[in-house]
């Protein structure tokens, strides 16, 4: 059976598709599966053993400069790649107009969420088969059910499995702190990270940090200052970060895509959630725990804190979470 999956972005959404791929691979031995994905996340999509080929769709870049994409022939190349052969099934696992349009360029019966359960209801008009998967469960569960309906198998008795495994730990055990994130309100305090690093140092654990951009690098340097067990990694790519995360003894993560990858690997992962609600799109894995804000105003789903608008890092809802609580949770997960 030949299947095309369309899940363009983001990193967390890509990782949340992995359990469905594992299900499909087990249900259909010899499955040939291609994945249409944004170029930034193609290295992550390739991590899953079911993926035969990735069709890179640089949609964000092309929308920024559409004339250049047209003149360069890049758009024609993508259309040719998607339409090169016929698929038995095409699954849009994203439910957006942009993903539905990409799916329409492929030859095959198109499946997706129905109008009531797609993120953008109009996308359902492009599918041949529509499936009702209400947004009342975690996204990974909904995608598993979508794949099962599209490919004709049952999930009964089939445990969720992302298809990844932690890497064997070599050398001194280390933790990874994923401190960087897109919203200022999703960040934890520098004091919290430093106190957590001190707990780890007392337990004989190294810490590995990385940074993307000047703001994150300044935070990482402040976390590492004067702590001999904290090491700032040189600039990384997704290809080089994945094995670092897979080989970690534990991960503590702000609400960011790499935290989802750590959870998928089965690495003990503690997620810190303040303004965002993890119920539908939080960590999904066998050794993952989310510590959530307890304030009445959380989750607010805002990039700027209403009660402390002057705060640029570590809003009150996340500052409430103590390093001692995070450490206790991580120790329990590792045990």
Q: Output the furthest CA–CA distance in the chain (Å, rounded).
A: 60
Query: How confident is the model at residue 143, as a pLDDT?
Result: 98
Query: How confident is the model at residue 53, as a pLDDT?
Result: 97
Q: Look at phi and psi of residue 243 and say left if phi exceeds 0, alpha if psi is from -120 to 50, else beta.
A: alpha
CA torsion through residues 193, 187, 175, 228, sign: negative
* Token pair of 294 as six digits: 């307890």
DSSP 73-123: THHHHHHHHHTSSEEEEEEESS-SHHHHHHHHTSEEEEEEE-TTTSSSGGG
For the whole model, what pTM was predicted? 0.95
b/e string for 245-272 if b means 16 or more Cβ within 10 A? Answer: bbbbbbbbbbbbbbbbbbbbbbbbbbbb
Query: How confident is the model at residue 9, as a pLDDT?
Result: 94
Q: Which residues contact 25 (CB under 8 A, 6 or more apart)?
A: 31, 33, 49, 50, 163
Query: How confident is the model at residue 244, as a pLDDT?
Result: 96
Query: How confident is the model at residue 101, as a pLDDT?
Result: 95
Best CA proximity match to 174, nearest among 245, 126, 106: 245
Query: How confident is the model at residue 74, as a pLDDT?
Result: 80
Query: How confident is the model at residue 1, as a pLDDT?
Result: 96
Strand order from edge to edge, sheet including 2-6: 51-56, 32-37, 2-6, 86-92, 107-113, 129-131
Low-confidence ranges of the chain (pLDDT < 70): 69-70
Dist CA 209 CA 197 (whole Å) = 11
Residue pLDDT, tens place only, 24-57: 999 999 999 999 999 999 999 999 999 999 999 9
Query: How confident is the model at residue 189, as a pLDDT?
Result: 97
Backbone phi and psi for residue 128, each to the nearest 5 degrees, phi listed first:
-80, -35
Query: How confident is the model at residue 332, as a pLDDT?
Result: 98
R_g over Cα of the chain? 21
Query: How confident is the model at residue 72, as a pLDDT?
Result: 77
Query: How confident is the model at residue 227, as a pLDDT?
Result: 98
Query: How confident is the model at residue 68, as a pLDDT?
Result: 74
């Amino acid at each position: 059976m030949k299947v095309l999956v369309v899940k363009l972005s983001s990193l967390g959404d890509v990782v949340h598709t992995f359990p469905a791929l594992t299900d499909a691979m087990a249900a259909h031995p010899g499955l040939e599966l291609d994945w249409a994905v944004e170029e930034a996340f193609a290295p992550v999509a390739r991590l899953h053993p079911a993926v035969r080929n990735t069709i890179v769709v640089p949609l964000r870049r092309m929308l920024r400069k559409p004339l250049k994409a047209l003149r360069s022939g890049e758009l024609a190349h993508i259309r040719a790649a998607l339409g090169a052969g016929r698929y038995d099934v095409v699954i849009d696992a994203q439910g957006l107009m942009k993903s539905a349009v990409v799916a329409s360029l492929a030859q095959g019966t198109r499946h997706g969420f129905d109008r009531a359960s797609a993120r953008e209801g109009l996308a359902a008009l492009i599918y041949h088969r529509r499936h009702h998967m209400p947004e009342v469960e975690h996204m990974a569960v909904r995608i598993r059910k979508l794949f099962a309906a599209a490919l004709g198998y049952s999930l009964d008795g089939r445990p969720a499995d992302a298809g990844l495994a932690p890497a064997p730990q070599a050398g001194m055990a280390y933790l990874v702190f994923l401190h960087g994130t897109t919203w200022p309100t999703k960040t934890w305090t520098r004091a919290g990270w430093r106190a957590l690093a001190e707990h780890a140092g007392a337990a004989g654990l190294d810490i590995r940090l990385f940074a993307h951009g000047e703001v994150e690098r300044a935070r990482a340097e402040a976390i590492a200052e004067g702590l001999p067990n904290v090491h700032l990694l040189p600039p990384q790519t997704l290809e080089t970060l994945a094995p670092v995360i897979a080989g970690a003894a534990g991960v503590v993560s702000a609400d960011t895509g790499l935290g989802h990858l750590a959870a998928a690997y089965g690495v003990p992962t503690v997620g810190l959630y303040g303004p965002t609600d993890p119920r539908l799109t939080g960590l999904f894995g066998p050794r993952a725990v989310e510590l959530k804000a307890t304030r009445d105003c959380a989750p607010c789903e805002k990039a700027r804190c209403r009660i402390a608008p002057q705060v640029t890092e570590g809003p009150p809802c996340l500052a409430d979470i103590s390093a001692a609580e995070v450490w206790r949770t991580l120790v329990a997960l590792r045990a």
